[in-house]
Amino acid sequence: MEFKKLINERFSCKKFSTRKVEEEKLQAILEAGNLAPTAVNAQPYRVYVLESPEALAKLDALTPCRYNAPTVLLLVYEEKEEWKNPLQVGIHSGVEDVSIIATHMMLAAKDEGIDSCWINYFGNDALEQAFGLPSTEHSVLLLDLGYSDNFAPLPKHTQKKPLSEIVKRI
Ligand SMILES: Cc1cc2nc3c(=O)[nH]c(=O)nc-3n(C[C@H](O)[C@H](O)[C@H](O)COP(=O)(O)O)c2cc1C
């Protein structure tokens, strides 16, 4: 799909049908994520694919925001691999790295005809414990994937602040 059309038409889907995400489409989405840049190319991210009834049930106990998506990606970073800014104490790249990977995936999903929703409404500690993540892996977001069940974009999808309010030249 042409890029401008794709970024205009992508929206957060909050009601998915039971139609499964085809394996080749999922692979294309995962590959697109892996093409994203990361700080010093450290690639500290990991992706957990949640599709089994057990994993999805576990997730439903942690967040109301799966919206019946048949596939959910859990994106985390490994703290031992993220870049640490030597010029600023406490600034590490893990969350930034995961965010750009998820953005690639979200847009690739749209290109594959798959709807998505980025989710951060969950307790990170509870989720990491429930899925038995190593203590050095930190959860950042969930990406719901599937086919919209006739869900129309919410009105706020098109409510954008004007650039004049956002962009400052200094
Ligand atoms: C960082 C981030 C966190 C989000 N967390 C949630 C969430 O937990 N639950 C949810 O339903 N939507 C979530 N969303 C979706 C936003 O609500 C949605 O992107 C926003 O309202 C704009 O709508 P649009 O994506 O349709 O343009 C999140 C989006 C982003 C970028």
Please give the model's pTM, rounded to 2 decimal places: 0.98
pLDDT, tens only, 107-119: 999 999 999 999 9
The HSE-up count of residue 131 (CA atoms within 13 Å, CB side) is 28
Strands 115-119, 71-78: parallel, antiparallel or unpaired by DSSP? unpaired
d(CA 89, CA 117): 33
* Domains of the chain listed by start with CATH number: 3-166 (3.40.109.10)
Tokens of 4: 């401008």
Pocket of ligand 1 (CB under 6 A): 11-12, 14, 65, 117-121, 153-154, 156-157
* Reported confidence tier of residue 11, pLDDT bands at 50, 70, 90: very high
Contact status, residue 49 vs residue 39, Cβ threshold 8 Å:
no
Q: Using CA positions, which residue lies closest to atom 20 of ligand 1?
A: 157
Planar angle of CA 46, 106, 1, nearest 5 degrees: 135
- CA 14 – ligand 1 centroid, Å: 9
**Residue 135 pLDDT class (50, 70, 90 cuts):** very high
